[in-house]
Structure 1
Amino acid sequence: MKATWEKIEKNLGVLEVEVDADRVAAALDKAFNKVVKQVSVPGFRKGKVPRPIFEKRYGIESLYQDAIDFLLPEAYGEAVEQTDIFPVDSPDVEIDQFAKGESFKFKAKVTVKPEVTLGEYKGVEVPVSKIEVSDEELTQELERLQQRHAELVVVDEDAAQSGDTAIIDFDGSVDGVQFEGGQAEKYSLELGSNTFIPGFEDQVIGLHTGDSKDVEVTFPENYHSADLAGKQAVFKVKVHELKRKVLPELDDEFAKDVSEFDTLAEFKEDLKKQLLERKENEAKAAREGAVVEKVAENATIDIPEAMVKSEVQNMVRDFDNRLRSQGMNLEMFLGFSGQSKEDLEEQMKTDAEKRVRNNLVLEQVAKAENIEVSEAEIDEELKNMADAYKRSVEEIRSILESNGSFANLKEEISLRKTIALLVENSKEVEAPAAAAE
């Protein structure tokens, strides 16, 4: 097989491929073996038609598309490897020649990973991080713990307030017609969480257990469902139960319940240490991020739109997985927030482009610095993962290999080593004082 690559503009080029005639013949054989199973010809059992009779009746050309479908992906993959290019999008393929007894020729327009020209990447300056825990931050953390350990108590007589959890039935309709996703029974809604259509939760506030009410709202103009966007809706709501958070007292008993300490003073001292450690980790991550951002800004790179789109899809998928872990999904989130999937993707686009840029630049720095990952480092990473998931190293390796993630492990280690090198060679400087007015 012959393959040549010619760049035509920026990150776009043409891959010209010629596959030998004997491989074309093998692909036609494979196509025949697939098609003949479905063919019935008088005098022959189904699937047993001889090749010459099949070709005489249907023509050899009837096998071409199936043969191309078999051969093209295989030949394209080999050509990519042979020419040492890195496609980042599906190719635009044009068949030049395919016939029995002849070679198979095709051209593929391919968008490839862009070239990166590094600027200054050693000695970049980033603002110094000040790490301290204020009394106010300690108080806020204690209040968060109070909220987390609050008890939900059933409210019998009082009216619903913001912050209460209302157990409700709702039945939504537009112009008297129910719409999909507008009905639920015994749904737990935290009032004031702004998870429902604007105005819905406000109208539940003030209701008592057992009350019913028609809640009137208007769907946002940019609502993800075009049939509902901008429409007025009526939800028949019934309140089954109200629950209210009762915060525990901040005293020694609270400290005993939530920690290993006997007194609130001891717990607060330990909590301050935890907050300080958390801030140190955040400062470390912030410095790494700032250094990478600065190095990426100094580089010259023309990012293909296909790479940004791909990263956006990865981000949407990750977001959906996080929602599912919380008992929700992407469709529900879009419905409650009044957004479309396109709105969400547009919001993610800037971050996606930044991620792509940063990763490409880090990859180039790793090449420039000859950063390599040893087998010992891979083994250490596998051991850490095995300890974290309480599985054997062999199990972790097998899982990663089976789902195709093992190669990513080496890339992740290389990425961390590259970032560590950049941080080690960066400088923390005091931010300039604000100019007097």
Structure 2
Amino acid sequence: MNHKSFAALCLAAALGLSAVLGGCSFFKGDASSQAAGVSSFGSAADYDYENFQFSQGLTADGYWEGVKALDYVTLPEDFAAISLPKAEVEPTEEAISNQWDYLLSMYSTTQPVTDRAAQNGDVANIDYAGTVDGVAFTGGTSTGFDLTLGSGMFIDGFEEQIVGHMPGDQFDVVVTFPEGYNDSTDAEGNTVPLSGREAVFAVTLNSLSESVLPEATDAWVDENFGESDDVHTVEELNQYFYDLIYEDNLDNAIRSYLLESSQFDGCPDVIADYQVTSCLNYYYQMASYYGYTLDEFLTTYAGFSSADEMLASYDEDLRSYCDEALVYQAVAESLGLTPSEASCEKYADYNASYGENYVKMLALIDDVTAALRDGVQLV
């Protein structure tokens, strides 16, 4: 077995490493119902998102180029000795259980199902061909698609109608697209309205498979995490989860306090440009993977009519990201911090992919967080 360090798995998730969106054009999460508007950050055409680099706009110390954050942020007087309710920080049993569920799922194996009907949790490999009033539409046909039943990936009613069928069955799934769903096109490029329309999908259930989770025993923990993380028993891994969640809860509480208690006066162009360009590049990369333009991808997969509409819907989030970038640098300036060697080393494997300056920023944020964590008073 190729053993994975649990710490490495957590690090990868924290960095948001490449995630590929797969599927079809009728995801349940269609966003077309959001009101169109204009982003305070301008238009997507104003940004060179195709050439975004993670280290752009950052110095070799992980600071924003030409920015003194304390000119834009007034930190609360108690920022270095924050008081927080203990109840906000201590992990719940549910949170620890969720960590176990996630970890075991990472080590699950898959086995075929041939002797029973499909049920929620199964992965159904299907072919489907959808029509509205007998007309096939773009994005409504696929072969060999793996769909986890009960995931809510497809529009309401689709997955539920696969449940109960046996591998090899051919059947129709009848669903109604939600109001506000984007239009599609037929083979000749003519518009096919989908909003509120009934669609019939001819489905073939090619095969079923199910995940089998490993049993969490001391021997299993030792085999997978004894060498990589020096964690050898279920009890030790449970404590590992407790400490991990505690630290994450503490960091989130600190961040929330700082953002709520600080006063902000604008956002420097270099940070605003970075946040918007990063957002656009994320979707541009996915669009390129599937052979779409950015606007085509957002229309087909996310329910936005354009990149500009998406930016408008994300305006508040982008502003929050700018504030967060400023507040951490403001703390670093106040405390005279630069990235420590130990923190930089933790991210060293990502230098080639993300650039040294970006890695230095991650390290600086870690050092700022550690300093704030040390000053917290739990009450």
TM-score (norm 2): 0.60
Q: 2:317 is paired with a residue of what secondary structure?
A: helix
Counterpart residue number, 1:176: 134
Give the one of 109, 116, 121 matched to 2:72.
116
Partners in 2 of 1:413 and 1:247 — Cα distance?
35
The offset of 1:355, in angstroms, is 1.6
Aligned counterparts, 1:74-85, within 5 A: none
Partners in 2 of 1:203 and 1:274 — Cα distance?
41
Q: Which ranges of structure 1 fall in alignment gaps of 5 or more residues?
A: 1-85, 89-112, 390-395, 431-437
Name the structure, 1 or 2, with higher relative contact order (CA <8 Å, separation 6+): 2
Rg bigger for which structure?
1
Counterpart residue number, 1:240: 206
The offset of 1:208, in angstroms, is 1.3
Aligned AA for 1:275?
A: F
% identity of equivalent residues = 24
Q: Which ranges of structure 2 fall in alignment gaps of 5 or more residues?
A: 1-64, 185-192
Give the one of 214, 226, 229 matched to 2:172.
214
The offset of 1:189, in angstroms, is 0.9
Evaluate the alpha carbon distance shift between residue 132 and residue 121 of structure 1 in structure 2; reply closer, same or farther with a 3 A threshold: closer
Aligned counterparts, 1:35-434, within 5 A: 116=72, 118=74, 120-123=76-79, 125-129=82-86, 140-225=98-183, 227-248=193-214, 260=226, 267-296=233-262, 299-303=263-267, 311-318=275-282, 335=300, 345-364=311-330, 369=334, 371=336, 373=338, 385-386=347-348, 388=349, 405=355, 427-430=376-379
Evaluate the alpha carbon distance shift between residue 251 and residue 291 of structure 1 in structure 2; reply closer, same or farther with a 3 A threshold: closer
Aligned AA for 2:210?
A: R
Counterpart residue number, 2:20: none
Q: 1:275 is paired with a residue of what secondary structure?
A: helix
Partners in 1 of 2:369 and 2:268 — Cα distance?
24
Aligned AA for 1:351?
A: D
Q: Alpha-carbon deviations, 1:31-64, whole Å to 9, x = none?
A: xxxxxxxxxxxxxxxxxxxxxxxxxxxxxxxxxx
Determine if contact 1:197/1:338 at 8 Å carries over to the other structure: no
The offset of 1:239, in angstroms, is 0.8
Determine if contact 1:149/1:248 at 8 Å carries over to the other structure: yes
Determine if contact 2:118/2:163 at 8 Å carries over to the other structure: yes
The offset of 1:173, in angstroms, is 2.2
Which deviates more from structure 2 when the two are superposed, residues 377-386 or residues 180-189? Answer: 377-386
Q: Alpha-carbon deviations, 1:282-320, whole Å to 9, x = none?
A: 144224413432443xx2414589976863452353467
Aligned AA for 1:127?
A: L
Determine if contact 1:194/1:201 at 8 Å carries over to the other structure: yes
Determine if contact 1:378/1:409 at 8 Å carries over to the other structure: no
The offset of 1:157, in angstroms, is 3.7
The offset of 1:203, in angstroms, is 1.2
Q: 2:314 is paired with a residue of what secondary structure?
A: helix
Partners in 2 of 1:345 and 1:320 — Cα distance?
13
Q: Alpha-carbon deviations, 1:203-232, whole Å to 9, x = none?
A: 111211111112122223333446433333
Aligned AA for 1:173?
A: T
Partners in 1 of 2:156 and 2:78 — Cα distance?
50
Evaluate the alpha carbon distance shift between residue 339 and residue 237 of structure 1 in structure 2; reply closer, same or farther with a 3 A threshold: farther
Partners in 1 of 2:77 and 2:176 — Cα distance?
52
The offset of 1:168, in angstroms, is 0.8
Determine if contact 1:164/1:190 at 8 Å carries over to the other structure: yes
Determine if contact 1:163/1:192 at 8 Å carries over to the other structure: yes
Task: Indicate the structure with greater strand content.
Answer: 1
Q: 2:207 is paired with a residue of what secondary structure?
A: strand
The offset of 1:237, in angstroms, is 0.6
Partners in 1 of 2:71 and 2:306 — Cα distance?
32
The offset of 1:191, in angstroms, is 0.6
What is the count of residue pairs matched by the alignment?
A: 297
Evaluate the alpha carbon distance shift between residue 203 and residue 338 of structure 1 in structure 2; reply closer, same or farther with a 3 A threshold: farther
Evaluate the alpha carbon distance shift between residue 415 and residue 241 of structure 1 in structure 2; reply closer, same or farther with a 3 A threshold: closer
Determine if contact 1:212/1:238 at 8 Å carries over to the other structure: yes
The offset of 1:245, in angstroms, is 3.3
Determine if contact 1:168/1:189 at 8 Å carries over to the other structure: yes
Which deviates more from structure 2 when the two are superposed, residues 184-193 or residues 349-358? Answer: 349-358
Determine if contact 2:72/2:267 at 8 Å carries over to the other structure: no
Partners in 2 of 1:168 and 1:280 — Cα distance?
42
Evaluate the alpha carbon distance shift between residue 306 and residue 178 of structure 1 in structure 2; reply closer, same or farther with a 3 A threshold: farther
Partners in 1 of 2:204 and 2:311 — Cα distance?
36
Partners in 1 of 2:266 and 2:345 — Cα distance?
39
Q: Alpha-carbon deviations, 1:251-305, whole Å to 9, x = none?
A: 56755765559xxxx7321211211231243144224413432443xx2414589
Partners in 2 of 1:408 and 1:177 — Cα distance?
50
Partners in 1 of 2:324 and 2:377 — Cα distance?
20
The offset of 1:192, in angstroms, is 0.6
